[in-house]
Amino acid sequence: MMYYSRLKMASVIAVCLLGVLLCLPNTLRQPAPGVPWRQIHLGLDLRGGSYLLMQVDMNSITADRLQTLADGTRQALLDKGLGYRNITTDAKAGTVSFTPRDPSERDADLKALRAMPMVVPGEFAVDGRADGGIVITLSPDAMRRRAAEAVTQSIEIVRRRIDATGAVDPQITRQGDDRIIVELPGVSDPEHVKKLLGTTAKMTFHMVQDSAVGSAAPGPGVSLLPLASDPNQTLPVVDHVDVDGSDLTNAGAAIDQQTGEWAVNFSFDSAGARAFAETTRANIGRRFAIVLDNKVVQAPVIRSAITGGNGQITGGFDAQSATDLALLLRAGALPAPLSVIEQRSIGPSLGADSIRAGMISLAVGFMLVILFMALFYGRFGWYANTALLANLVLMVAILSLFQATLTLPGMAGMLLTLGMAVDANILINERIREEVARGRTALAAMQAGFERATSTILDSNATALLAHIMLFVFGSGPVQNFALTIMIGIVTTLFTTLLLSRMLMVRWYARTRPSILPV
Q: What is the size of the binding site for other proteins (CB under 8 A)?
A: 85
Is 194 a binder of other proteins (CB under 8 A)? yes
Strands 41-42 and 405-406 come out as parallel
Is 395 a binder of other proteins (CB under 8 A)? no
Asked if residues 250 and 267 have their Cβ atoms less than 8 Å apart, the reply is: yes
Strands 310-317 and 234-238 come out as unpaired
CB of 309 to other proteins, least distance (A): 36
DSSP H or E run through 366: helix 348-401
Is 386 a binder of other proteins (CB under 8 A)? no
Q: Which is nearer to other proteins, 253 or 411 (CB)?
A: 411
> Which residues are CB-contacts of 320 (< 8 A; sequence separation ≥ 6)?
none
CB of 480 to other proteins, least distance (A): 9
Is 486 a binder of other proteins (CB under 8 A)? yes
How far apart CA 350 and CA 47 sit, in angstroms, is 8
Site for other proteins in 435-464 (CB under 8 A): 437, 452, 455-456, 459-464
Is 352 a binder of other proteins (CB under 8 A)? no
In this structure, is the dihedral angle defined by the CA atoms of residues 360, 361, 362 and 365, taken in order, positive or negative? positive
Pick one of 112, 422, 484, 498: the residue that binds other proteins (CB under 8 A): 422
Q: Which is nearer to other proteins, 315 or 410 (CB)?
A: 410
CB of 150 to other proteins, least distance (A): 18
How far apart CA 499 and CA 492 sit, in angstroms, is 10
CB of 17 to other proteins, least distance (A): 25
Strands 310-317 and 295-298 come out as unpaired
Is 186 a binder of other proteins (CB under 8 A)? no
CB of 97 to other proteins, least distance (A): 27
Is 369 a binder of other proteins (CB under 8 A)? yes
In this structure, is the dihedral angle defined by the CA atoms of residues 411, 412, 415 and 416, taken in order, positive or negative? negative
Is 341 a binder of other proteins (CB under 8 A)? yes
CB of 428 to other proteins, least distance (A): 10
Q: Which is nearer to other proteins, 254 or 466 (CB)?
A: 466
Q: What is the DSSP string of 471-510?
A: HHHH--THHHHHHHHHHHHHHHHHHIIIIIIHHHHHHHHH
Stretch touching other proteins by CB under 8 A, among 157-165, 238-246, 289-297, 428-436: 428-436
Is 494 a binder of other proteins (CB under 8 A)? no
Three-class secondary structure of residue 98 per DSSP? strand
Asked if residues 482 and 409 have their Cβ atoms less than 8 Å apart, the reply is: yes
CB of 242 to other proteins, least distance (A): 30
> Which residues are CB-contacts of 191 (< 8 A; sequence separation ≥ 6)?
none
Stretch touching other proteins by CB under 8 A, among 83-91, 242-250, 260-268, 431-439: 431-439
How far from each other are the two terminal CA atoms of the chain, in whole angstroms? 19
Site string for other proteins, 252-281 (x = CB under 8 A): ------------------------------
Instruction: Assign 3-class secondary structure to 224-279.
Output: EEEECCCCCCEEEEECCCCEEHHHEEEEEEEECCCCCCEEEEEEECHHHHHHHHHH
Is 294 a binder of other proteins (CB under 8 A)? no
Is 518 a binder of other proteins (CB under 8 A)? yes
Site string for other proteins, 295-334 (x = CB under 8 A): ----------------------------------------
Q: Which is nearer to other proteins, 15 or 420 (CB)?
A: 420
Pick one of 244, 256, 293, 430: the residue that binds other proteins (CB under 8 A): 430
Is 433 a binder of other proteins (CB under 8 A)? yes
Q: What is the DSSP string of 438-449?
A: TT--HHHHHHHH
Stretch touching other proteins by CB under 8 A, among 97-105, 241-249, 253-261, 403-411: 403-411
> Which residues are CB-contacts of 358 (< 8 A; sequence separation ≥ 6)?
46, 408, 411, 412
CB of 391 to other proteins, least distance (A): 12
Site for other proteins in 106-125 (CB under 8 A): none
Site for other proteins in 145-174 (CB under 8 A): none
Site for other proteins in 51-90 (CB under 8 A): 53, 55
> Which residues are CB-contacts of 224 (< 8 A; sequence separation ≥ 6)?
218, 234, 235, 236, 237
How far apart CA 127 and CA 89 sit, in angstroms, is 15
CB of 239 to other proteins, least distance (A): 24
CB of 415 to other proteins, least distance (A): 5
Asked if residues 123 and 139 have their Cβ atoms less than 8 Å apart, the reply is: yes
Q: Which is nearer to other proteins, 124 or 482 (CB)?
A: 482
